[in-house]
């Protein structure tokens, strides 16, 4: 059976799976929580903390080895279009931001964001279901990880499903 190739002008990306993580963050308004915890940039043209953190998260998921790897995200026009992002901060800007917020204050801000996300209350169910085709799901997040959630929902992170009482 011969293989047939066709020329296309469609934009392609190898980062299609990362779109799910971005969309989940949008749904729980993670950017708003981050920007509230870290405060506004020093100037009216400054880059928001959520842009730096989302860039770092994208880089970690993508397997970046250094801050310079942000360029591979910047060059991926298809991915940027899908997540509705115009640009990424430069590696120098990320390094400067990490130096400014890398101490105890930055850590406190991140814990504030985590606490807010874990106490999140929504009108609809939120599900981040990475792989439940296995007998033991790799990562399933349902509203049960939130206080006062029904126990029939469960949360499993790299292990067996439990009743949410981690």
The pTM of this model reads 0.68
Number of domains, the chain:
2
63 plus 30 within the same structural domain: yes
More confident residue, 10 or 52: 52
pLDDT bin (cut points 50, 70, 90) of residue 113 is confident
Within a domain: 2: no
| 53/39 Cα distance (integer angstroms) | 13
With 90 as the cut, is the pLDDT of residue 92 above it? yes
Could you give the percent of the chain with pLDDT greater than 70?
71
23 plus 94 within the same structural domain: yes
97 plus 24 within the same structural domain: yes
Nearest to 158 by CA among 140, 144, 133: 140
The whole domain housing 114 covers 18-118
Within a domain: 104: yes
114 plus 127 within the same structural domain: no
51 plus 77 within the same structural domain: yes
Beta-bridge partners for 157: 139
Within a domain: 7: no
Could you give the percent of the chain with pLDDT greater than 90?
30
70 plus 145 within the same structural domain: no
């Amino acid at each position: 059976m011969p293989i047939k190739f066709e020329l296309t002008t469609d934009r392609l990306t190898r980062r299609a799976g990362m779109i799910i993580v971005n969309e989940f963050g949008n749904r729980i308004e993670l950017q708003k929580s981050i920007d509230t915890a870290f405060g506004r940039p020093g100037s009216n043209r400054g880059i928001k903390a959520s842009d730096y953190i989302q860039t770092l998260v994208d880089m970690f998921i993508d397997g970046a080895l250094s801050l310079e790897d942000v360029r591979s995200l910047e060059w991926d026009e298809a991915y940027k279009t899908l997540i509705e992002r115009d640009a990424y901060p430069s590696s120098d800007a990320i390094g400067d931001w990490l130096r400014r917020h890398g101490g105890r204050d930055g850590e406190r801000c991140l814990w504030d964001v985590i606490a807010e996300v874990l106490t999140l209350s929504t009108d609809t169910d939120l599900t981040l279901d990475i792989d439940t085709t296995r007998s033991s799901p790799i990562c399933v997040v349902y509203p049960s990880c939130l206080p006062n959630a029904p126990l029939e929902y469960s949360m499993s992170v790299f292990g067996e499903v439990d009743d949410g009482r981690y």
